[in-house]
Amino acid sequence: MALIKTVRGFTPQFGNDCFLAENATIIGDVQMGDGGSIWYQAVVRGDVNFIRIGNKVNIQDGAVIHGTYERAGTTIGNNVSIGHRAIVHGCTLHDNVLVGMGAIIMDNAVVEENVLIAAGAVVLQNSVLESGHIYAGVPAKKVKPLGEEQFADTIGRIADAYITYASWFKE
């Protein structure tokens, strides 16, 4: 069972049909919707500020979700994939977002819906990433529109795949 800790009077809350890996750590003021998954060695640390996670969100191996004390909580919409070892810190991710492996998203950044953030990208504090585009680089910059086919083959496919992967561990 995952390490789930109450901190400052807040106990993590989970919707229906969530998968929590045995060595995932979820702490404090965390609320996760239905059909989500938090994978191996991921840390969702709602000790210093809130973390709100929508439905059908996968937080992959080694990812860290956190915020800044009294300044920046973290809000994650629906149908979001957060890649291996990514850091999502005190920001807002709207629906249908893919955060690539090792990407970093800093405080008060806003990622609009239907956005793909490339592996290793760094989204600077207070940035706004416009809907329907791919962002890459350090710092992250808009590189091209996200076409319907690419959207379906990345954001849609990966979010759906993690529902399947989680089912394997519930057998």
C-alpha Rg value of the chain to the nearest Å: 15
Q: What is the mean pLDDT of the chain?
A: 97
The CATH number of residue 62's host domain is 2.160.10.10
Of the pLDDT bands very low, low, confident and very high (cuts 50, 70, 90), residue 1 is confident
For β-strands 25-32 and 87-89, DSSP reports them as: unpaired
pLDDT reported for residue 47 = 98
Decide: helix, strand or coil at residue 95. coil
Q: How far is CA 41 from CA 50, 70, 127, in A?
A: 20, 26, 28
Please, are residues 121 and 100 in contact by the beta-carbon 8 Å criterion? Answer: yes
Element (H, E) at 162: helix 157-168
pLDDT in tens, 76-129: 999 999 999 999 999 999 999 999 999 999 999 999 999 999 999 999 999 999
pLDDT reported for residue 152 = 86
142's CB contacts (< 8 A; 6+ apart) are 129, 130, 133, 134, 135
Please, are residues 124 and 106 in contact by the beta-carbon 8 Å criterion? Answer: yes
Domain count, the chain: 1
**pLDDT (average), residues 51-71:** 97
pLDDT reported for residue 94 = 98
pTM: 0.97
- pLDDT reading at 171 higher than 80: no
pLDDT reported for residue 150 = 87
Of the pLDDT bands very low, low, confident and very high (cuts 50, 70, 90), residue 56 is very high
Angle, alpha carbons 69-100-140 (nearest 5°): 75
Domain that holds residue 113: 3-168
pLDDT reported for residue 60 = 98
Q: To which residue do tokens 């207070």 refer?
A: 126
